A = this chain, B = another copy of it.
Amino acid sequence: MKTVIPVDLPQNQYDIKIATDGLQYLGAWLSAIGKSGKVLLVSNPVIFKHYGDTAIESLKAAGFDVCQCILPAGERYKTLRSIEKIHDVAFTNRLERSSTMVALGGGVIGDMTGFAAATSLRGIAVVQVPTSLLAMVDASMGGKTGVNHPQGKNLIGAFHQPSLVLIDPNVLATLPGREFRAGMAEVIKYGIIWNEDLFDQLEQAQRLDQMRYVGQALLHDILKHSCQAKADVVSQDEKEAGLRAILNYGHTIGHAVESLTGYKLVNHGEAVGIGMVAAGAIATAMDLWPQTATDRQLAIIQKTNLPTKLPENLNINDILPTLRSDKKVKAGKVRFVLPKRIGAAFVTDQVTDDIIRSVLEEMF
């Protein structure tokens, strides 16, 4: 199975290729987009152990001169120090403006490699080879790159579009189940905010909690619809001036939950799942979409085995101030993305504290 999704931005055109066994064509496809010469592959030890050889052999077979930078796994290494390590390998190996960096990994490796490429020789090409479901459907596309700062996540960064996104669904075979479910939260999000067909497919599936229950055909469709959704939104609003905000569906409450649980107990996808349950209930409480829609969304989230309740030790009195301290708050008004119908969403700052509070009280 193979699907190509073209992304058309004013300054950049590139393809998202979704292809079973695609990893072994990495070198050939890099050549096909006109690349040659040096490639710096960035990965982490776990992912490199599984897929490093296939990637490197493919690149070498296509005539590329390959060097590599293997960074420790984990969000806590998503720092400027890691970027320095990539720069060191890049410049010691004399990368040129025509050279390419390849990110082989999840969102952490993708964000860092993209940022290192954005800041090397004032911008060299980066190819994203996402290996987590979250990176496949979200982080690898759209050009947001960066690292964390002690004062906050992703504060250091730049926009830098990839030259190619290569998705080989096979690599998900080794992804831990919890990471798979976290990625599914973003998939469900696209169903609600953008694509009713995707929502219907998710609704009809038996189980969504593990890759092996999903099956190749449905997985391919999920990837295709999700990437297309993100590509559509990003091409209409590359630099987050307006529409792109709907991608934050489930993320308003989600971010608060993540931050109040110290980014440990609940992971990003789980928090987004909880946030979508809350946003759906808020929309219903405001008479903006029917209770049946909220229920259908809930059923899909449950089928994915994502949490749908707030963590017990969370205090509602902490959530409201946390919402207000979010960097996207304008003039003290919390902005919510709410569904209008299945497949469409909008941004509003008209949600009252009372509604938020009464919805959250029902979520323990």
State whether B87 touches A122 (Cβ < 8 A). Answer: no
Taking the closest CB of chain B, its distance from the CB of A143, in whole angstroms, is 9
Question: Is A313 on the interface with B (CB-CB < 8 A)?
Answer: no
State whether A92 touches B151 (Cβ < 8 A). Answer: yes
Q: Which residues of B contact A118 (CB under 8 A)?
A: 158
- Contact A155-B87, Cβ < 8 Å, known A119-B119, A122-B144, A146-B122: yes
Q: Per-residue 0/1 for A145-156: is the Cβ within 8 Å of any B Cβ (1 yes, 0 no)? A: 110011110011
For residues 103 through 146 of chain A, which have their beta carbon under 8 Å from a beta carbon of chain B? 115, 118-123, 144-146
Q: Which residues of B contact A295 (CB under 8 A)?
A: none
State whether A157 touches B121 (Cβ < 8 A). Answer: yes
Q: Which residues of B contact A11 (CB under 8 A)?
A: 11
Cα–Cα distance between A155 and B11 once the two chains are bound (Å): 23
Question: Is A263 on the interface with B (CB-CB < 8 A)?
Answer: no
Question: Is A159 on the interface with B (CB-CB < 8 A)?
Answer: yes
In the complex this chain forms, how many copies of it are found?
2
- Contact A158-B122, Cβ < 8 Å, known A80-B80, A327-B96: yes
- Contact A119-B327, Cβ < 8 Å, known A87-B149, A92-B151, A151-B91: no
Question: Is A84 on the interface with B (CB-CB < 8 A)?
Answer: yes
Taking the closest CB of chain B, its distance from the CB of A97, in whole angstroms, is 8
State whether A119 touches B152 (Cβ < 8 A). Answer: no
Cα–Cα distance between A157 and B119 once the two chains are bound (Å): 5
Taking the closest CB of chain B, its distance from the CB of A107, in whole angstroms, is 15
Cα–Cα distance between A121 and B158 once the two chains are bound (Å): 7
State whether A119 touches B87 (Cβ < 8 A). Answer: no
Enumerate 12 A-B pairs (CB-CB under 8 Å) in ascending A order.
Answer: A80-B84, A87-B149, A91-B149, A115-B119, A118-B158, A119-B119, A119-B146, A121-B155, A121-B157, A122-B145, A123-B158, A123-B159
Q: Closest 5 interchain pairs by CB?
A: A91-B151, A122-B157, A91-B149, A91-B155, A122-B159
